[in-house]
Amino acid sequence: MADSSNPCRRIFLALSWSALAAILGFQVEPALSQVLEGGSARTRPEAAQRLGGGPIRPPQFHEMAQGQSPNSLFITCSDSRLIPSLITRSGIGEVFVIRNAGNIVPPYDLRPEGVTATIEYAVAVLEVPKIIVCGHTQCGAMKAALDPTGLDTVPNVANWIKFVEPARLAVDELHPSLGPKERWLELVRQNVRQQLTNLKTHPWVAARTATGRLRLEGWVYWLENRRVVHLSLP
């Protein structure tokens, strides 16, 4: 039973997320309030600082075991250098997560498919009010989409990367003179936009966004400086 007079419990409840993270060995994002857009810096102090808003509560594990009510669905890459809870500064139970190579959302299809089923559950059952698609710099999936050499030995990867093809075509059409590094980065951005477009083909997403009960956002996480870029959406 909880005992607020217990000095150890009082100390634990008073700990900030930063202090908890330090104790647990995590590095908390120091600069997510610095938001970049298309290479030019601008500040949006609250935009990416704390996805759920308000302070992070210390974990109440007994309460959390009764159910979940996440404030967003976060779709990002499987890259091991990304830790969604640190990128979004979220606590336990706050963010529902889908991860795969290239943060891809296949267009809606009735065939059984994990990403589609998880989106449907998050939107229709958990009723998340926000979906974020978050790409990242140095993404190997985007590099493979630009140069598929060698993918013939990994046919499932090759098939999966095909969902990036519309984004690659858009980059080459809109930015035909980019050098290799800039083209790679632009594909990261364009792919996020493409996957958000695909997301809108999912019936529950279309219905909830049409009535204003669901908002979509596109982010790019910069591994180099641990900043989040909010993309403008079409």
**Contact indicator for 165, 145 with CB cutoff of 8 Å:** yes
Pick from 77, 187, 188, 199 the residue near Zn ion by CB under 5 A: 77
Q: How far is the CB of 77 from Zn ion (least distance, A)?
A: 3
Q: Please identify, among the stretches 3-11, 41-49, 73-81, 92-100, the one whose residues bind Zn ion according to the rule CB under 5 A.
A: 73-81
Q: Looking at 79, 94, 186, 217, which residue binds Zn ion (CB under 5 A)?
A: 79
Contact call for residue 94 and Zn ion (CB under 5 A): no
Bridge-based pairing state of the strands 215-222 and 227-230: antiparallel
- Shortest approach of Zn ion to residue 21 CB, angstroms? 24
**Distance of closest approach, residue 102 Cβ to Zn ion, in angstroms:** 6
Per rule CB under 5 A, is residue 134 in the interface with Zn ion? no
Please identify, among the stretches 47-55, 88-96, 138-146, 183-191, the one whose residues bind Zn ion according to the rule CB under 5 A. 138-146
Q: How many residues bind Zn ion (CB under 5 A)?
A: 4
**Applying CB under 5 A, which part among 20-28, 34-42, 136-144, 149-157 lies near Zn ion?**
136-144
- Contacting residues toward Zn ion, per CB under 5 A: 77, 79, 139, 141
